[in-house]
Amino acid sequence: MTNAAVEGAVDRWRSLPAAQQPEWPDENRLREVTARLAAAPPLVFAEECDRLRERLGAVARGEAFLLHGGDCAETFDGVSAAAIEAKLRTLLQMAVVLTYAAAVPVVKIGRMAGQFAKPRSSPTETRDGLTLPVYRGDAVNDVAFTPAGRRPDPGRLLRTYDASANTLNLVRALTQGGYADLHQVHAWNRGFVGSSPAGRRYEALADEIERSLLFMRACGADPAGLRATEFFAGHEGLLLDYESALVRTDPRTGRRYATSGHLLWIGERTRALDGAHVEFFAGIHNPVAVKIGPDTEPDEILAYARRLDPRGEPGRLSFVVRMGADRVRDRLPALVEKATADGVRAAWVCDPMHGNTFTAPDGRKTRRFDDILDEVCGFFEVHRALGTHPGGIHVELTGSDVTECVGGGSELGLHDLPLRYETACDPRLNHGQSLDLAFRTAELLRTSRGSAG
């Protein structure tokens, strides 16, 4: 295709129905904002996106495991060094445990530096008889329940760009600057294992990791590579005005990339095959993912593969399965079987969060740790039975001690939710629950390896 034809293709989404877009009250302001974004430097670079595609190719082939995690909804106030560091630390701690257990590289992606827009079940929210637009993420409006707060403001797209740039800057510095040192990360894990009753269950695994590190050091195999780590950013590519303003052409190849993040995914609510999101995603060269709910039909999987990965290149497309603990064992096998039979070469990733949300008696959204773990187990069981690869996990988490999900090692109950319920949208695993999930997933990975070999 010529460059002009590629650009035309990238813009074709505008003629199709786009679900979950805000009703911006001021079109002129939106045009002004997107013009500024279109002139701004890219947040990520084509080479980095290509590298992530390669890494995800290994995931799709069963040679690597993906850990993708972070907030349901990032907020502008949450862009602080402490909060970003805590999230990153949590992900790095999880990754070390998973790497050891999987005995393959763990590809790390933060649900960070761009995860500012939310699809919602209802366009409005009513409190005490007052109905206002629903909160759609800091990229669109404010979580504060006031008419001014809930009014969509295109100026927020500029703040989204700045907040993403600031976050990426810190993440790049931390992951390259020694913060990610493997010995340091393991020492943090030792802290978790030693200091909580929940952690003690994992003492044997932590001991094994420690012995491996000592062995490597004794052999002189303690390279600089252990001090830095590769880390990517991925968010839902929901707001197409924002995403398309940040598309850039790679001068090396003439290919178009969304430069708001390395990986973008299409959400369960916006994955219509004849809709604007699929069209937009077909025109960018980034690695992309599609969230797959329990009602997905096998033929849809084939259609996504044809539209988004026509050349069948491992690493281009991932399916993020979010069916719920009670349905994954029934619904997933037919999808994986049909895809495999058809030669689809996508990666399969488990999001054990979004199919397990329920409303607590006090009205807060929550999730049970045991349901989350059960969905991960079900996902592994399905792949083990079919001889396919459980490619990774995609989780909503934070680095602090919030009380948003119940259960896990510290045994949070429904009555604990009000203590520190801080999420702007969905309930996240806290730091301890996240590590718990990593150690449990590590146990599953070891069982899978055991049965495979």
Ligand X SMILES: O=C[C@H](O)[C@H](O)COP(=O)(O)O
Ligand Y SMILES: C=C(OP(=O)(O)O)C(=O)O
354 marked as part of a ligand binding site: yes
Which partner in ligand X, ligand Y, Mn ion, none is near 367 (CB below 5 to 8 A by kind)? Answer: none
72 marked as part of a ligand binding site: yes
Half-sphere exposure of 318 (CA within 13 A, CB side): 39
Q: Residue 291: which of 278, 307, 282 has the closest Cα?
A: 278
Options 42-50, 225-233, 265-273, 371-379: segment touching ligand Y (CB under 6 A): 265-273
CA 442 to chain centre: 19
Options 136-144, 261-269, 275-283, 296-304: segment touching ligand Y (CB under 6 A): 261-269
| 354 touches ligand Y by CB under 6 A | yes
Backbone angles phi and psi of 184, in degrees to 5? -65, -45
By DSSP bridging, strand 263-266 and strand 232-236 are: parallel
Whole-number minimum distance, CB 174 to ligand Y, in Å? 24
Of 62, 119, 298, 333, the one binding ligand X by CB under 6 A: 119
Judge contact between 53 and 289, C-beta under 8 A: no
Which partner in ligand X, Mn ion, ligand Y, none is near 121 (CB below 5 to 8 A by kind)? Answer: ligand X
List contacts with Mn ion (CB under 5 A): 72, 426
Q: CB-wise, 119 or 298, nearer to ligand X?
A: 119
Which partner in ligand Y, ligand X, Mn ion, none is near 120 (CB below 5 to 8 A by kind)? Answer: ligand X
Judge contact between 112 and 70, C-beta under 8 A: yes
Q: CB-wise, 99 or 430, nearer to ligand X?
A: 430
- DSSP class of 412: B
Query: What are the C-alpha distances in Å from 172 to residues 50, 52, 69, 103, 185?
Result: 17, 15, 16, 25, 17
291 marked as part of a ligand binding site: yes
Length reported for the chain: 453
* Span 423-452, contacts to ligand X by CB under 6 A: 425-426
Q: Is residue 366 helix, strand or coil?
A: strand
* Span 55-84, contacts to ligand X by CB under 6 A: 72
Of 142, 268, 371, 404, the one binding ligand Y by CB under 6 A: 268
Whole-number minimum distance, CB 366 to ligand X, in Å? 12
Which partner in Mn ion, ligand X, ligand Y, none is near 440 (CB below 5 to 8 A by kind)? Answer: none
Options 17-25, 133-141, 262-270, 335-343: segment touching ligand Y (CB under 6 A): 262-270
Q: CB-wise, 286 or 423, nearer to ligand Y?
A: 423
> Looking up tokens 């980095």, which residue turns up?
48
Of 42, 62, 119, 312, the one binding ligand Y by CB under 6 A: 119
Site string for ligand Y, 273-302 (x = CB under 6 A): ------------------x-----------
Whole-number minimum distance, CB 377 to ligand Y, in Å? 19
| 121 touches ligand X by CB under 6 A | yes
| 120 touches ligand X by CB under 6 A | yes
Query: What are the C-alpha distances in Å from 411 to residues 324, 368, 407, 433?
Result: 21, 10, 4, 9
| 267 touches ligand Y by CB under 6 A | yes
Q: Residue 323: which of 276, 281, 381, 250 has the closest Cα?
A: 381
What are the tokens at 372? Answer: 């989350």
> Looking up tokens 């340091």, which residue turns up?
184
Whole-number minimum distance, CB 204 to ligand X, in Å? 36
What are the tokens at 323? Answer: 């069916």
Nearest position to ligand Y, beta carbon: 267
Residue 410 amino acid letter = S
If residue 235 lies in a helix (H) or strand (E), which one and from where to where? strand 232-236
If residue 249 lies in a helix (H) or strand (E), which one and from where to where? strand 247-249
268 marked as part of a ligand binding site: yes
Helices marked H in 114-154: 147-150
| 322 touches ligand Y by CB under 6 A | yes
Q: Residue 386: which of 320, 338, 327, 443 has the closest Cα?
A: 338
Interface with ligand X by CB under 6 A: which residues? Answer: 72, 118-121, 354, 425-426
Binding positions are 72, 111, 268-269, 291, 322, 354, 396, 426
Residues making up the binding site for phosphoenolpyruvate: 111, 268-269, 291, 322
Annotated binding site for Mn(2+): 72, 354, 396, 426
